[in-house]
Amino acid sequence: MCVMKIPFRKYHGCGNDFIIVQEEEIYPELLQDLIVQSCDRHTGIGADGFIVVRKEPLEMLYYNQDGSRAPMCGNGIRCFSQFCIDEGIIHKKEFVVKTLAGDKIIRVLDDQTFQVNMSKPEFEDLSLTGTSKRIWNDLYIIEDRHYRLHTFFQSTIHTVVFVDELNEEWMRKDGKIICEDPMFSLQTNVNFVQCIDPTHIQMQTYERGCGMTLACGTGACASVVCAYQLGKCKDTVEVLLPKGHLKIHIDTHGDVYMTGNAQCIAKGEYVYETN
């Protein structure tokens, strides 16, 4: 048995929590097992996701808690940015982070608050969503519950569902069913959205590879984009989450901007055992 001590920091953005390590501290062949072990909330540190920092060029490698790779994470990229500042990797007020969903421009607004250009949504490229046809306002029935699905790519795969209320039991159960439906060959994040008024929505996300989370940054962007497309909200919206809020703005060119905070909540060494 081999025992390694891996330096880490843990952050959260609106309750969405992440373990963050630098690339040089890990062995690639052990990464998936390390992610699964460390993200376990009972026998590990516990987290929704795991982030690896690559420095040259600056890149965020994002993984779900089950070890699967995801293109991007909105709350995660803010936490990534705060980590880079805390570790002295970044000293600028504006910088670019590479992701599998393209380069993201980060602006440091003040202490622990960041604005991220999340790019434009993609509605037509089905290869990004892993579906055989465009899914927009498609009826989906689970028992006696009727949903309308809206699926597109907003830095990762998202399906938006508008509901009259956020019911934890139904969201957890129905989110899993929709996420794992065979029509989504890559699975999908499922955002349950309640529109409060034209400038406020509430939402929660069932994330592929993770399950229900307290917040999803890309999901908040997707939810506002979808609501805006359907005339349910304005171009600037406050997204209310169980443990915080995000500001989402859609500019005249269709680019989506996310503003929110990131907070370091732990720092130490993770004792990782491998055979």
Torsion of CA 99, 101, 106, 111, to 10 degrees: -80
- Report whether 117 belongs to an annotated binding site: no
Would the annotation count 75 as a binding residue? yes
Which has the closest alpha carbon to 171: 152, 153, 196, 189?
189
Q: Which two tokens stand for residue 102?
A: 């393209």
Q: Is 64 annotated as a binding residue?
A: yes
Phi, psi of 156 (to 5 degrees): -165, 180
189 is in an annotated binding site: yes
Helix ranges, the chain (H): 31-39, 74-86, 126-129, 168-179, 217-229
Phi then psi dihedrals of residue 90, to 5 deg: -125, 140
Q: Token pair for residue 240?
A: 């209310």
Whole-Å CA distances, 3 to 26, 47, 87, 238, 272: 13, 21, 25, 45, 6
What are residue 274's DSSP bridge partners? 2
- List the beta strands (DSSP E) in the chain: 2-13, 16-22, 49-54, 59-64, 69-70, 94-97, 104-110, 113-117, 136-142, 145-153, 157-162, 189-197, 200-207, 211-213, 236-241, 244-250, 256-261, 263-274
- Residues annotated catalytic, as ranges: 73, 216
208 is in an annotated binding site: yes
Q: Is 46 annotated as a binding residue?
A: no
Where helices occur in 193-239 by DSSP H, the ranges are 217-229
Does 217 carry a binding-site annotation? Answer: yes
Strands 200-207 and 236-241: parallel
Binding-site annotation: residue ranges for substrate: 16, 64, 74-75, 189, 207-208, 217-218
Binding-site annotation: residue ranges: 16, 64, 74-75, 189, 207-208, 217-218
